Structure 1
Amino acid sequence: METRESKRRKEREEQQIRTEKMAKISKGSTQSQLLLTTQRRGSMEDSIKIIDPNIRILDEIRKLQQEMKEARMETKEDIRTACAELREEIKDTRAEIRKDVKKELEIIGKKMDKLTTDLNKTQKEVEQIKERTNILEKSSKELNKQQEEQKRMEWNNELRYREKCIKLRGLTEKSKEDLYERLIPALARYVDITPEEMEMEIDKMFRINSPQNKDRNVSRDVAICFARTKVRDRFIQQSYENKLWIEDMEIKIFKDIPPQIMMSRQKYKPLTRLLKNINIDFRWDRIEGLSFFYQQRRYKIDTIDKANEIEMKLRKEYKENGGKRDYPTKEWRASKNNGTNKEKTVKELERFDPLERTETETDLLNWN
């Protein structure tokens, strides 16, 4: 449509330019012709009438103007028709677009309704799963709590049984050995009683089977269980004062602690090493954790988080003090000549006993 209209516009402009040129030419020619005709009219009255060519040109110009006018009218009519057609096309297109959009919106609305339904269903299922999860977590916590209590009860019973026992390390093994014959005389002399009394105080005596001893090709430890805790305490007390020698061999004496408790104490190993490095005595709790005094305050550690926190605090203060071990500590070992009551000394040894802390180390040291 735009191409045809531009062509017509150019044609009209060209025709107008030609018409103006021809009008100028015809105007000059007409004036000269009229002047010639007037001069001749006086001399030749009966001359033949001559047709001026400019008149023809004027007639052609008028025809051209009429054609241009008709062309303009046709062009206007064509433009009106094209505009009307374009309006109809735009109207139809809008109607189609509205129809398509409405259809798409209906489809999207249906999908959204379906998604909303599915989402609500999913939310309900998630809530049900959460409720079930909470129930399972609660049941699991209760079960873990019961298992923990049962485990602590078993550990406590075993520890209570082993409170009457000690372990001896360093006694070489012999084929078909009789531990009673080898140990009772030396043990009796160690605590200053008769062999008969020593034999009566012993409930049982045996070698402890350990794969580590077999792998390292070292002698197995000897476990001795006494009938009374008091006898065991006498051996623990005596181990601080004198070394035990059997068959020219130095024998180390340790408390008999269950392996489960030993393993649980391993997680506190970084803290216990630090406490030993800065010369702070500590005591293992019966089942879980440890306790110690630091700067006139008692600390009880029963979780790994507390252990990490106090370890960082002690390391920081130790560095601020320039690595000096100037912390106040207490000596809990019994003296040979101080005449302290034996029962009181045993209680103090049980409260802060270095033997207990060495049980968590792989290389158990002999505390004299």
Structure 2
Amino acid sequence: MGENRMSHTGKKGTNGGTPGDRRGSKQEADFKTEILKMFAEIKQSQNNLEHKLEQVDNKIGKMDKKMDETVNEIKGQIKEVFRRTQLTEEGLKRTRLELKDMKRDKERIKVEVMDLNKAQEEMKDIIAMNELRQKEVNLRLRAVPEIQNENIKEKLIIELAEWMGISAEEMAKNVQNAFRMRVKTTRVKKFTGDCLITFKDKEMRNRILQRNREKRLNIGGNYIVIFKDIPIRLLKRRDSYKRLAQTLKKNKIEFRWEFPEGLSFTYRGKRHRLSSQEETGKFLRKYKELKVEANGAEGAEGGLPEEPGKEEGEEGGEGGSDEEVEEEEEEEPANL
């Protein structure tokens, strides 16, 4: 027994301890290994973190540098924009001054053009009035039947002489010329053109107008409308007065056309002469009791008169519609 114990004790000393001791030593070694491994991993993580921080620092440095460059570039652009803005403002100031000068020039030119137009209109009126004086010995006869190869001068002399109750020889002495006028619109509508007759003086013309008020001329079954020969320009000047003319006609007020424009009449015992649109409007506003026509263009001029030989308050009538006189082409007289 004693030997066995010694043997067992000696065996313990030889193997370095009991199994429990050996297990503890192994666990301690494993623990140390784990600790070392953890330290190594921590060290590696620290190195990685330091590397990443270094990369971040580098990136931040690059970004700072780039931001500085961008800021400097923006500052340069702002300076350039400011410089251009100043140039633009200076240009705008010059442009405003130029526009003011142009506006003054425009107003000056406008006034000059208005004066020139006014002078031209006055000159045209003078020419038209001179033409009117030249046409004072003329009469226009509408609806005269047309036959082929007619001698219109001889025909009118005979018809007028019979109508006036005088000899053809006496009428021929007073007639200087007569011919039929060709009008494009009348050819399209298959109407006969007006006949223009020129007398040697106003006496016979006035006698015919007087006779026309008493009895209408009839040629070949047609009642003839007799007009004074009025220049187209003066006829067109009546356009703005047609509403008033129709109003006067509807209210049975006799009126007379004035030259170069306007009309005159007596109303409420007072003589009125209206020669502008302003005067016309003022008159109609003042005398509201008149039956104002909304569409006064029709019937104020041209067409057949309501009473034989009388056209819109004017002796013998005048002109005709604008459509009929605008495109006239004079035919050479058959007999001079």
TM-score (norm: length of structure 2): 0.61
Task: Look up the match of 1:238.
Answer: 211
Amino acid at match of 2:193: R
The alpha-carbon deviation at position 104 of structure 1 amounts to 11
Alignment of 1:302-321 (within 5 A): 302-314=275-287, 316-318=288-290
Change (3 A) 1:224 1:195: same
Query: Do the aligned residues in 2 keep the contact of 1:265 with 1:360 (CA within 8 Å)?
Result: no
**Quick one: which of 126, 138, 148 aligns to 1:175?**
148
Alignment of 1:190-339 (within 5 A): 190-314=163-287, 316-318=288-290
The alpha-carbon deviation at position 124 of structure 1 amounts to 1.6
For 2:188 and 2:322, the matched residues in 1 are separated by 18
For 1:116 and 1:361, the matched residues in 2 are separated by 58
For 2:260 and 2:321, the matched residues in 1 are separated by 13
For 2:85 and 2:231, the matched residues in 1 are separated by 65
**Quick one: which of 334, 347, 353 aligns to 2:314?**
353
> Which consecutive unaligned segments of at least 5 residues does structure 2 have?
1-74, 293-309, 325-336
Could you give the per-residue CA deviations for residues 216-265 of structure 1, whole angstroms, max 9, x where no partner exists?
Answer: 21221111111101111111111001222334443222212122222221
For 1:228 and 1:353, the matched residues in 2 are separated by 20
**Quick one: which of 109, 118, 139 aligns to 2:91?**
118
The alpha-carbon deviation at position 184 of structure 1 amounts to 1.2
The alpha-carbon deviation at position 169 of structure 1 amounts to 1.8
The alpha-carbon deviation at position 122 of structure 1 amounts to 1.6
Higher helix share: 1
Change (3 A) 1:356 1:129: farther
**Quick one: which of 122, 146, 157 aligns to 2:130?**
157
For 1:300 and 1:113, the matched residues in 2 are separated by 64
Alignment partner of 1:236: what SS?
A: helix
Task: Look up the match of 1:143.
Answer: 116
The alpha-carbon deviation at position 116 of structure 1 amounts to 4.3
Amino acid at match of 2:104: E
Change (3 A) 1:356 1:113: farther
Could you give the per-residue CA deviations for residues 149-170 of structure 1, whole angstroms, max 9, x where no partner exists?
Answer: 2211221121111111111122
The alpha-carbon deviation at position 214 of structure 1 amounts to 1.3
For 1:360 and 1:307, the matched residues in 2 are separated by 22
Change (3 A) 1:310 1:361: farther
Alignment partner of 1:119: what SS?
A: helix
For 1:310 and 1:362, the matched residues in 2 are separated by 29
For 1:318 and 1:267, the matched residues in 2 are separated by 18
> Which consecutive unaligned segments of at least 5 residues does structure 1 have?
1-101, 321-348, 364-368
TM-score (norm: length of structure 1): 0.56
Query: Do the aligned residues in 1 keep the contact of 2:230 with 2:319 (CA within 8 Å)?
Result: no
Q: When the two structures are aligned, how many residues end up with a matched partner? A: 237
For 1:212 and 1:174, the matched residues in 2 are separated by 19
Query: Do the aligned residues in 2 keep the contact of 1:165 with 1:256 (CA within 8 Å)?
Result: yes
Kindly indicate whether structure 1 or structure 2 has the higher relative contact order, using CA contacts under 8 Å at least 6 residues apart.
2
Change (3 A) 1:354 1:188: closer
Amino acid at match of 2:134: Y
Structure 1 outlier segments of 4+, above 6 Å: 102-109
The alpha-carbon deviation at position 106 of structure 1 amounts to 8.0
| Identity rate, percent | 30
